[in-house]
Structure 1
Amino acid sequence: MRVISGLCKGRPLKAVPGVGTRPTTDKVKESIFNIIGPFFEGGQGLDLYAGSGGLGVEALSRGIDQMIFVDQSYKAIEVIQQNLKSCHFEEKAEVYRNEAKRALKAVAKREMKFNVIFLDPPYAKQRLKDELIFISENDLLSNQGVIVVEHDASVKLNQMIGSLTCYRQEKYGDTAISIYKYS
């Protein structure tokens, strides 16, 4: 795993040890950023099931100003912090060990809006529809923002969820990427 582009291009990233985390491959990560726009002009991001933090670190490298990383695993939190330190992004990040639903409630309470939200939950524990509805109902996405949902290719998500529309979907083997924005 590595940072593909931007300020930290080529920098290696650590993976979370064990089999509990499924890192996004470099190929899929590169495809995601080609779809959502290769670079950002500032803004805030949320990496909800952060794992190693690879997607959020990539967004920081490509110009996002601030990123919130959330994961339940203590090991994942340690790896995220190491990857942020390696890229000198500690000042641009908040890292929380928390469950996704509680984290969404916390950012809603702070009345935050995000330019990009990454949802990449463990395939066996997906509550994607509920999370997308919560994001929509609590207006957590900026007007031009996108939500990148990584899921098992067999999972079928609705075209419309709340006020969000899936405008692009791609498959990479057993992985699918669905990208939502406001209708």
Structure 2
Amino acid sequence: MRVISGEYKGRKLKSTAGDNTRPTADKVKESIFNMIGPYFDDGECLDLFAGSGGLGIEAVSRGMSHAILSEKNRHAVQTIKENVTMTKEPERFTILMGDSRKNMLKLANKEPKIIFKLVFIDPPYQAEKTAADIQLLIENGLIDDETVLVCEMDSKKSLPEEIAYYYKRKRVEYGAIAVEIFEAK
């Protein structure tokens, strides 16, 4: 795994050991950023179920000003810390350890309020609750009509065409995984 493009281009990223997390393959990551960007002009990024932190780090490398990386697995959090250190700009990242929903509620109560412009939702496939996570982000005012949502899932599953005021702009399958992009109507 590596950073594909931008400020940190070519830097190697560590992946987590075991099968508790599934790092997004470089080919898939590159395709995701070609669909949503590929480059950004500031803004906050949220990487739920961050795993190794690769998607959030890639987003900052491509121009997001800051990324919050939320991860429950303590071994994965250690990997995220090592990958953030590799950027030599740790101030551009916040690592939240713990349950993603509890972390969303913490963020909702933080002042000043953060509105994310880019959100990655890549839960463990067997515990997929992506639509409910999007609804929680909306209810807590963490996203708005300029936010892009990138959802990764098992290719046998699919999210509804609309979730609240977000619609599915695109779905692409890569073997066993699928990526769906949502934007506001």
The normalised TM-score by structure 1 is 0.97
What displacement does 1:3 show? Answer: 0.2
For 1:72, the equivalent position in structure 2 comes to: 72
- Please give the residue correspondences for 1:1-183 in structure 2 after superposition, counting only pairs within 5 Å: 1-110=1-110, 111-183=113-185
Asked if the contact 1:136/1:163 (under 8 Å) is kept, the reply is no
Q: Percent identity, aligned pairs only? A: 38
Q: Is the 8 A contact 2:138 2:144 kept in 1?
A: no
Give the secondary structure class of the aligned counterpart of 1:9.
coil
List per-residue Cα deviations over 1:74-128 (Å, max 9, x = no partner): 1111111110111113010110111011111112222321010000111011111
Aligned residue identity for 1:133:
Q
- Give, in whole Å, the separation in 2 of the partners of 1:142 and 1:94: 21
Q: How far apart, CA to CA, are the structure 1 residues paired with 2:150 and 2:89?
A: 22
- Which has the larger displacement, 136-145 or 10-19? 136-145
Q: How far apart in 2 are the matches of 1:65 and 1:24?
A: 22
TM-score (norm 2): 0.96
Q: Which amino acid aligns with 1:24?
A: T
Moved over 3 A (4+): none
Q: Which consecutive residues of structure 1, in runs of 5 or more, have no partner in the other structure?
A: none
2: distance between equivalents of 1:122 and 1:77?
A: 15
Cα distance in structure 2, aligned partners of 1:155 and 1:106 = 29
- What is the number of residues matched between the two proteins? 183
Distance 1:14 1:173 in 2: 23
Task: Write the distance in 2 (CA, Å) between the matches of 1:137 and 1:180.
Answer: 17
RMSD: 1.0
Answer whether contact 1:136 1:164 (CA < 8 A) is retained. Answer: no
Asked if structure 1 preserves the Cα contact closer than 8 Å seen for 2:48 and 2:121, the reply is yes
